[in-house]
Amino acid sequence: MAIQCVQNFRMRKATFLELCSELAPALRRKDTNMRSALTVEKRVAIAVWKMATPDCYRSVANQFGVGRSTVRLALSQVCQAINRVLLRSTVTLGNVREIVDGFAAMGFPNCGGAIDGTHIPILAPGHLATEYINRKGYFSMVLQALVDHKGRFTDINAGWSGKVHDARIFRNTGLYRKLQGGTAAVGDVEMPIVILGDPAYPLMPWLMKPYTGNLDRSKERFNYRLSHCRMTVECAFGHLKGRWRCLYGRLDLAEDHIPAVIASCCVLHNICESRGEKFSPTWATEAQRLEEAYEQPATRSIRVAQGEAARIREALREHFNYALP
């Protein structure tokens, strides 16, 4: 029974009941003369089942003995409740020193997170559909996320159309405006806590990206360290999509409702990761298979760099050059 609960809801019964308890004040409904209200537990179960499986609305409705419209309503209500009640407390930076120490142990000093974007397949929107066609030719929305050293989301932004470049999304987020913080010395250079991105992001004093072009051994070493730590965000996306398969199912929802579902999946991901919920290897295999059907678009590299940012990257490169491997 416990195994089946994890398979169907991606979490143990105790975690599921704790989730229901936290959401109860926002989800509890009164009976009417026409019908009895669904219990909080059943409403959450319907929504979590829909997010965790590739089942269509009719299949989920049959599973729980309700109508398809009830499944849609439950999914909408539960996602709204998750985002209203749990998002800010669950998707948060938390203990910055612990994160910095965690990335330092992985080989990159003074690092506060790794950032990347991933495309979520969607059905063709009814409005401005061509804006959602990404470089691989399918309709998508972008989830951009910052993760900590344990692969938990610390900042998310969901809902940009698949046609938009990662750097533009980043420049229009609250994270971009907030990334000013304390400094630390690496060699003779004072630098802010940095985050790590791929070549699609701009090189800035607080955002490090790989070197491109002709690379000497020290630049290759820098790129290796950065890539090794950036694996945390790639693994986080893998676990997110492996657990919550609706993110591959091209949800039959209006485009303005989809970001709430994506954000809810991120909250549930953090809950599962923080509580040590099992992640089955078969889920990862299935996610990889689905990923092949919706290959991630390659994003154009940005080559312009700020002078101060380049100086900081050079200081880190020198640090790695003289540090032990």
pLDDT tens per residue, range 251-288: 778 888 999 999 999 999 999 999 999 999 899 888 88
Tell me: pLDDT of 178 over 80: no
Tell me: pLDDT of 292 over 50: yes
Would you place residue 137 in the very low, low, confident or very high pLDDT band (cuts 50, 70, 90)? very high
Tell me: pLDDT of 181 over 70: no
Count of CB atoms within 10 A of residue 64's CB? 17
| Class of residue 276 by CB neighbours under 10 A (exposed 0-12, middle 13-18, buried 19+) | exposed
The pLDDT of 112-136, averaged and rounded, is 91
Distance CA 297, CA 4 (A): 35
**Is 233:200 a contact under the CB 8 Å cutoff?**
no
Query: What is the percentage of the chain residues whose pLDDT exceeds 70?
Result: 91
Higher pLDDT residue, 128 or 131? Answer: 131
Tell me: pLDDT of 21 over 90: yes
Which range among 3-7, 32-36, 208-212, 298-302 has the greatest average pLDDT?
208-212
Q: What is the pLDDT of residue 184?
A: 45
Tell me: pLDDT of 211 over 90: yes
Q: Residue type for 70, please?
A: T
Would you place residue 229 in the very low, low, confident or very high pLDDT band (cuts 50, 70, 90)? very high
Tell me: pLDDT of 186 over 70: no
Query: What is the percentage of the chain residues whose pLDDT exceeds 90?
Result: 62
Q: What is the pLDDT of residue 1?
A: 45
Query: Among the listed ranges 28-37, 78-87, 202-211, which one has the minimum average pLDDT value?
Result: 28-37
Query: Among the listed ranges 18-22, 85-89, 175-179, 237-241, which one has the minimum average pLDDT value?
Result: 175-179
Distance CA 106, CA 113 (A): 12
The number of C-alpha atoms within 13 Å of 85 and in the hemisphere containing its C-beta is: 16
Q: What is the pLDDT of residue 121?
A: 92
Higher pLDDT residue, 277 or 187? Answer: 277
Tell me: pLDDT of 212 over 70: yes
Domain chopping of the chain, boundaries: 2-85, 92-322
| Class of residue 153 by CB neighbours under 10 A (exposed 0-12, middle 13-18, buried 19+) | buried
Angle in degrees, 0-180, between the axes of helices 96-106 and 217-243, rounded to the nearest 10:
120
Q: Which of 36, 32, 59 is nearest to 46 (CA)?
A: 59
The number of C-alpha atoms within 13 Å of 171 and in the hemisphere containing its C-beta is: 10
The pLDDT of 156-160, averaged and rounded, is 94
pTM: 0.91
The pLDDT of 123-137, averaged and rounded, is 89
The pLDDT of 113-138, averaged and rounded, is 91
Would you place residue 299 in the very low, low, confident or very high pLDDT band (cuts 50, 70, 90)? confident
Would you place residue 226 in the very low, low, confident or very high pLDDT band (cuts 50, 70, 90)? very high
The pLDDT of 8-25, averaged and rounded, is 94
Q: What is the pLDDT of residue 50?
A: 95
| Mean pLDDT taken over the chain | 88
Higher pLDDT residue, 190 or 313? Answer: 313
Q: What is the pLDDT of residue 34?
A: 62
The pLDDT of 9-28, averaged and rounded, is 94
Q: What is the pLDDT of residue 190?
A: 54
